[in-house]
């Protein structure tokens, strides 16, 4: 099947490459000429494990290509996926749909024969209706169907998520569109991936509801961690105890510095705004957004407390900057707020991240010392802080760290280490929702 993918961001590039790997012929379209030229040279603009190999193999096989011109790509396609950005709109938190509608207008001018227009981007409920209205206004003669097909890709595991999904959600009530979408995802039948066909508005809501629920689980266990610290509990035991209940499950019950990234922050905010507009406020989700925003400042205070109550003139070594491991994505990363707060309190910061250093330089304030590894980062610091749970930080040489640090203070915002282990090595250890241990 011939497919065009409008947008070569995270979702568009991963989805296009995976669909090509299924055997479809995919043309990825982007107006950014520099990005397209880089992709044509085999340069991948994002870090996602395995994506470079997947793109290269499908380009070589002739199933995947990259262009800046929309018309031919759309005319030759049976299905046109829209995978452009929907960032939070400045001022009100609504999803900015200007890129969606601009792509829709371009597609409308190129419609030729029956087409499936698929919104892959995360969009508020009712967006598909507006896309259809725009298309029909511009091309009342055209034969097409607008389908919602939200993505559920985790950064760092996106290829696996696309090829072995929990579910595939397709929002359409058009029989022809349903047949085309089933054919697109037919290669996944061998993996027994359930396909949920629903109406378009339900499909759009499923994506937002899923992200809001996961954000709520993260925020819940973070608040339980705070309670554990006050009453002498261990949040890891609490998480395991409730996670063994199959009605709850163990995933997303790991306390830390709050959620970040390209999805949860903007999607929870957009869902809150949509619900308010329709007169059905989502009080739980509103609270989740507020608690998560406050969480990052609370983590900075935890670092200050571990450093003796004052970080002015002291050096803090931060390991991990991206919002999660196995990505270079710095969007809404908790590290950003923590860095700002510590700098405001007079700290000097040394930082290291295995993949996110270049992106961090674009969004972090001036004054940070970027280092080449965890041990260089720790050298001469008064306190060491783990912010992102990269595998490279899970088995650090503790004896070596102790000799490099000015003071053996270890703040573990991801609970990668056991308090008793750090105590044996002579560290003052502070985790999240677990008993602190003094050397």
Q: In this structure, what token pair is assigned to residue 417?
A: 């280490």
Answer for the pair 145, 172: CB distance below 8 angstroms, yes or no. Answer: yes
Answer for the pair 107, 70: CB distance below 8 angstroms, yes or no. Answer: yes
**263 catalytic, yes or no?**
yes
Phi, psi (5° rounding) for residue 188?
A: -85, -5
Q: In this structure, what token pair is assigned to residue 69?
A: 């011109």
Strand partners, 317: 350, 384
Q: Distance between CA atoms of 424 and 396, rounded to whole angstroms?
A: 15
Alpha carbons within 13 angstroms on the beta-carbon side of residue 367 total 12
Q: What is the DSSP letter of 257?
A: S
Q: Distance between CA atoms of 349 and 339, rounded to whole angstroms?
A: 8
Choice among 28, 110, 228, 263 that is catalytic: 263
CA 70, 58, 155, 249 torsion-angle sign: positive
Q: Distance between CA atoms of 298 and 303, rounded to whole angstroms?
A: 9
Q: Distance between CA atoms of 314 and 336, rounded to whole angstroms?
A: 19
Q: Distance between CA atoms of 272 and 60, rounded to whole angstroms?
A: 45
Which of helix, strand or coil describes residue 58?
Answer: helix
Which residues are CB-neighbours of 159 under 8 A, at least 6 positions away?
14, 17, 18, 48, 49, 50, 51, 54
In this structure, the strands spanning 25-29 and 2-6 are parallel
Question: Which residue is it, tokens 């896309």?
Answer: 131
Q: In this structure, what token pair is assigned to residue 221?
A: 């266990």
Which residues are designated catalytic?
263
């Amino acid at each position: 099947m011939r497919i065009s993918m409008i947008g070569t961001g995270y979702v568009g590039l991963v989805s296009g490459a995976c669909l090509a790997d299924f055997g479809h012929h995919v043309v990825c379209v982007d107006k950014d000429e520099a990005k397209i030229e880089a992709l044509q040279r085999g340069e991948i603009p994002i870090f996602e494990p395995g994506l470079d190999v997947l793109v290269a193999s499908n380009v070589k096989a002739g199933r995947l290509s990259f262009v800046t011109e929309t018309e031919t790509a759309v005319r030759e396609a049976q299905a046109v996926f829209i995978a452009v950005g929907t960032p939070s709109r400045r001022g009100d938190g609504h999803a900015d749909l200007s890129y969606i509608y601009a792509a829709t207008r371009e597609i409308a001018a190129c419609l030729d024969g029956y087409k499936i227009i698929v919104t892959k981007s995360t969009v508020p409920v009712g967006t598909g209706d507006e896309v259809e209205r725009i298309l029909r206004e511009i091309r009342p003669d055209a034969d097409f169907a607008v389908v919602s097909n939200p993505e559920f890709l985790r950064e760092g595991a996106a290829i696996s998520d696309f090829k072995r999904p929990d579910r595939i959600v397709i929002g359409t009530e058009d029989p022809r569109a349903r047949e085309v979408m089933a054919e697109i995802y037919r290669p996944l039948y061998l993996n027994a991936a359930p396909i949920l066909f629903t109406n378009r508005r339900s499909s759009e809501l499923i994506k937002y509801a899923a992200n809001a629920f996961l954000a709520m689980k993260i925020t819940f266990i973070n608040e339980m961690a705070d309670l554990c610290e006050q009453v002498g509990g261990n949040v890891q035991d609490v998480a395991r105890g409730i996670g063994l209940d199959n009605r709850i499950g163990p995933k997303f019950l790991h306390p830390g510095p709050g959620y970040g990234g390209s999805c949860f922050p903007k999607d929870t905010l957009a869902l809150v705004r949509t619900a308010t507009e329709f007169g059905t406020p989502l009080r739980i989700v509103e609270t989740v957004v507020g608690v998560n925003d406050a969480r990052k400042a609370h983590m900075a205070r935890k670092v200050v407390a571990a450093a003796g109550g004052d970080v002015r003139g002291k050096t803090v070594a931060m390991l991990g900057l991206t919002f999660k491991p196995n990505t270079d994505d710095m969007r809404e990363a908790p590290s950003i707020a923590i860095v700002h707060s510590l700098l405001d309190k007079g700290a000097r910061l040394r930082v290291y991240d295995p993949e996110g250093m270049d992106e961090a330089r674009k969004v972090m304030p001036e004054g940070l010392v970027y280092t080449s590894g965890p041990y260089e980062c720790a050298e001469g610091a008064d306190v060491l802080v783990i912010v992102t749970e990269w595998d490279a930080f899970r088995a650090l040489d503790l004896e070596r760290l102790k000799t490099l640090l000015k003071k053996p203070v270890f703040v573990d915002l991801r609970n990668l280490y056991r308090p008793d282990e750090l105590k044996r090595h002579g560290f003052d250890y502070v985790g999240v929702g677990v008993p602190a241990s003094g050397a």
